[in-house]
Structure 1
Amino acid sequence: MRAYVLLAVLLMLASPSAMALRCGNRLVTDGARDFQVRERCGEPFWSDSWIGVDVIGRDTPLERQREVQWSAWYYNFGPRALMQRLVFRDGELQGTETLGYGVREIGDDCRANMDFTGMSNGELVARCGEPAARREASDTVVYRPGPSIENWREQRREEWTYDFGDTRLLRVLHLLNGKVMSVETLAR
């Protein structure tokens, strides 16, 4: 019995991380640097970035503010594989998110009557391509997770307009922090 338990433990230690992303025959795990991910997986088809500020020692004699660069990279591995969203903090991979199935060609899997709600901006670009028009605005949201600590995060509001051409309607998608929150239909 001990031999089986020992074998199981050794197999778990030898197996790659469950949170690893496989690009070809190479693995990408949390903590990898952005240049390593690019080397192993290639260029993402879409990327998004935003800024945050971490404040340590608020209301104390020594306050430190540190700007944090966030980015999300999107990979499409084709229609038989799931798309991936990789989130980086200051160039270091913080996590991966599995999205829906990929597409054969970027922008070729879009219909005017799709349910866009909940899609990430990367999924939207994969399915529908770049919007015909795009507007952006942002707010700053301050989180206070503990005494003397603040995290300032940019809350990004976007409006993406898609013109499907074959209809008399335009679709205006309202995104918050890279996710579609609502869809509005406008006449031309």
Structure 2
Amino acid sequence: MTLLHYTCKSGAHGIGDVETAVKFATQLIDLGADISLRSRWTNMNALHYAAYFDVPELIRVILKTSKPKDVDATCSDFNFGTALHIAAYNLCAGAVKCLLEQGANPAFRNDKGQIPADVVPDPVDMPLEMADAAATAKEIKQMLLDAVPLSCNISKAMLPNYDHVTGKAMLTSLGLKLGDRVVIAGQKVFLHLFQR
């Protein structure tokens, strides 16, 4: 593990000190720490650790200097899921919310074909003494489902006169409107449909 990995762990609420971890992570990154390096034990990068330990403050620091695609970097120890899968599975509501705000793809499928909402533990399976965790699971699942863009398969056969259909008519025929979020090829997200 790198010092940045340990810093992400040390920022965990109730265990370490978030402010100190954020300052130290910022210094490490300023000095050239590589956020993409993986732990040899877990194959997790710094973002994965920040998500796993539910430290949104560190997620923001890490993503501030990263490339846009880094938010959806996968981890083999979590079925090649993203940081959003890791946070969802571990009921890390703060991390889930932060990752969504930072552009994480809620429709990204892991190797088992699951989107992050699919890996949230089922509240029904939780014992009564875990009522708080069950409520968090419901909240996270809904947050993730609300963030999933619309998805549809389009073919020329579905649209007669395809070459002469206006953009607005095409959207209407598909049940879409300007401003809707859509997924292309199951992974790439266009945040909003817009008019040219």
User: Structure 2 length normalisation: TM-score?
Assistant: 0.28
Between structures 1 and 2, the one with greater helix share: 2
User: Structure 1 length normalisation: TM-score?
Assistant: 0.29
Between structures 1 and 2, the one with greater strand share: 1
User: Which protein has the larger Cα radius of gyration, Structure 1 or Structure 2?
Assistant: 1
